[in-house]
Chains A and B, each alone.
Chain A
């Protein structure tokens, strides 16, 4: 076996690529021609609504989770020991168990506990607690926070001390240092993994369909039940998620390019 030699830079349209693209086109054509797609018209608005629901869930949980992750990372780096240990334990707990289990624990477990207390049932929160999405939101947010919290811990710890000392030498207060130097530098460092985590989060969102939240996955499940089709809806769903992932990756790449970096 030869040692690894980096391949020469390749053009998009080499002869074998043209052949592969033609083959792929033929497969797509067969899929469109021979499979049944007549249900698409009936469900298109529901599908769009489901995609919107999925995206909303993704961005709201990632946003809230990221704020929590910053806190978790910060506490682990600077916090008093008991707090740091609690934060680390939280991360281990969430990262060590499947998200599906956490979701069902919250929805069925916590939901049934809530239902047993008349105080909660008569409180103003009950109309929300009876629905599924608060549980889905909480589970997804906690999961994102735990995974990203580990990343933020490393990012906070990895900001060069000299930069923080320089900020102090400029007479910045601790909070200003955090706001102007420490947090932005840590986020820059975490950005490449943040994009990966966000894609992972997108891929976790369909789990909420198992607790009756209506996202795009749930719509497709309903199509499957209504039409008795196995493959067509699932293939479309895979395509939708691939497009969403691609868009997310592109967005993050644009964001990363905007951040000034030295060298490389």
Chain B
């Protein structure tokens, strides 16, 4: 009977304390930080991993193959638990080894590390495919001009592979935004966990979960718009739809 009044009590979403709106937005900001950080770290790992897989020696290739296979075969939730504990443990035992005191690793840093490692495996594969799609002649031409490997990378390979990489990478970005929710399970106060707390405190479950859903959804929709713009920009000069 009391369902609809509770659901419609929008005062609960007010920004200042009796309402939980401010808390939700803070959680959303934390989620965004996690997603941006994790995606960025994943991109760095991915660039390194892709080049390692394509140009590295046999041992590097095999190790990277193990990394991408294992990460993609194990559920993100399990990886997050493992890396969250193992990562903080490893840093602390490393510090103990060099004789420094233990530090409390912030949830944000650990979360970014976890999401970055997971995303790194996927973006390695995306970027590897994209680099392979760059015509070899272009890279050979860059070498013929006497460009150093690094200059070839940032002038030729990275820009030329971008149109091929963007669909995969944008998918990864959307996955990153949604994977941040999994950190709720290890107790990091991002949007989903904050929502659960707000809902539990006020008993207005539907209201808060729907509000959080709207926030996530708007992030996705806005991302899609921005991605569309970037994609058009990266594709300028390429004929026809691919």
Contacts and interface: CB of A to CB of B under 8 A. Distances in A.
Interface of A: 1-5, 7, 10, 14, 16-17, 20, 92-93, 95-102, 104-105, 108-113, 116-117, 199, 202-207, 210, 217, 230-231, 234-235, 237-238, 241-242, 245-246
A104 to B, nearest CB: 6
A217 B75 CA distance: 10
Interface of B: 1-3, 7, 54-55, 58-59, 61-63, 70, 73-79, 81-82, 85-86, 89, 131-132, 134, 136-137, 139-140, 143, 149, 152-153, 157, 174, 178-182, 184-185, 192, 195-196, 199-200, 203, 205-206, 209-210, 212-213, 216-217, 219-221
A2 B221 CA distance: 40
A235 B81 CA distance: 10
Given A93-B217, A97-B216, A242-B70, 20 more contacts: A1-B143, A3-B136, A3-B139, A4-B55, A16-B59, A97-B178, A97-B220, A98-B182, A100-B192, A101-B209, A105-B205, A105-B213, A108-B196, A109-B199, A206-B75, A207-B182, A217-B75, A234-B78, A234-B82, A245-B73
A116 B4 CA distance: 10
Contacts of A202: 75
Contact of B217 (A5, A97, A245): A97
A3 B140 contact: yes
Contacts of B79: 238
B141 to A, nearest CB: 9
A112 B205 contact: yes
Contacts of A199: 73
A242 B216 CA distance: 30
Indicate the member of B2, B58, B78, B85 with the most A CB atoms within 10 Å.
Answer: B78
B217 A230 contact: no
14 contacts: A3-B140, A14-B58, A95-B220, A96-B216, A97-B220, A98-B180, A109-B199, A109-B210, A112-B205, A203-B74, A206-B77, A206-B78, A217-B78, A238-B74
Given A97-B217, A108-B199, A246-B73, A1 B149 contact: yes
